Amino acid sequence: MSSIPVVVAGITGKTGEAVAKTIQHTTGLRLVAGIAKNHAGEHLGARWSDPDLDLSICRDIEAVEPLDYAVLVDFTEAASAFERLQWAIVHQWDMVVGTTGFTAEHRQQLTRLVERYQVGLALIANFSVGAWLLEKVAVEASYFFNVAEIVEEHHESKRDRPSGTARRMQGLLADSWRRSPDDIPVHSIRLPGLIAHQTVVFGAQGQVLSFRHDVHDRSAYAPGVIQAIQKVHALRGRLVDDLGVILDRD
C-alpha cells in the first residue's frame, strides 16, 4: 500500500490528539478516522483549525467507514479499549496501544486472539524513549542493588493507579530478583500540573541511587508510536509490550 491508514481512538484526548497530529503530518501514514464517544459528529478539521482536514469524529469503531485494513491506535481506557481491540483483531487490523489498566486476563485473551488471527499488537505502557531507557538502567542497577521503591506521578485525571509504566517496572525488577511484583512498593501521586513522571529509588548500606524520567509534553510519545505503526504489521501473531522490539534494541 502507498500509505498506512490509521484510525485513532481517543483522538480528542490530550495524548491521542498529540499523536494524531503527528500521524497526519508523517509521510507514509494517513489519518483516516478518529474515535471519541463524547465528541461524535464534530468536524476534526474545525477542532484543529485545519481547513485541509476533512474528517468527522466517529462515536465508535463500528461507525468508521469500512476499511479492508487499518492500524488502530488506541489511547483511551481499558474497558472500552478491550472491546475495540477484539473488533480490530477479528477484522484483521493491526494495533498500536498506549492504553493501560488491562487485567492479566485481558492480556491473555488478546495474546490468544492475536495469535489466532495473525495480526500484530504493540501493547506498550509508555512509548517515550526516555521511559524505555529508564527500564534498561533500572534493570542493570538491580544486579547490584536488591531493594527499590517506585514513585509515579501523573495528572489528576489519570484513572489507573499505579500507572501501567510503574506496573511494568515492578514486573521487570521482580523478574530480575525472582520475587513477586507486589513486593516492590509503588507510590502513586495524582495532582494538577503533572503529566507523567517516574522515579526508581534503590537503596543499600550507606547509599541511595535514583533514576527519574519526566514527560513535560505528550509529544514525547509520538516518535515511538510512529515507529510502532510502521512496524506493527511485521509482528503478525505476536503481542509485544517492550518498546525495544519496536526500536530494534531488544
User: Does the annotation mark 154 as catalytic?
Assistant: yes
Asked if the domains at 4-123+219-246 and 129-216 fall in one CATH topology, the answer is: no
CB atoms within 10 A of CB 46: 11
Q: Write down the pTM of the prediction.
A: 0.93
- DSSP 8-state symbol, 66: P
**Residue 159, pLDDT score:** 83
Catalytic pick from 14, 136, 154, 231?
154
**Residue 235, pLDDT score:** 96
What's the rounded Cα separation, in Å, for the pair 71 and 7? 6
**Residue 1, pLDDT score:** 54
Q: Which CATH superfamily is domain 129-216 in?
A: Dihydrodipicolinate Reductase; domain 2 (3.30.360.10)
Catalytic pick from 21, 158, 213, 231?
158
**Residue 249, pLDDT score:** 77
Q: Which CATH superfamily is domain 4-123+219-246 in?
A: NAD(P)-binding Rossmann-like Domain (3.40.50.720)
CB 199 within 8 A of CB 131: no
Q: Domain coordinates of the chain in residue numbers?
A: 4-123+219-246, 129-216
Q: Which residues, given as ranges, of the chain have pLDDT below 70?
A: 1, 250
User: Does the annotation mark 216 as catalytic?
Assistant: no
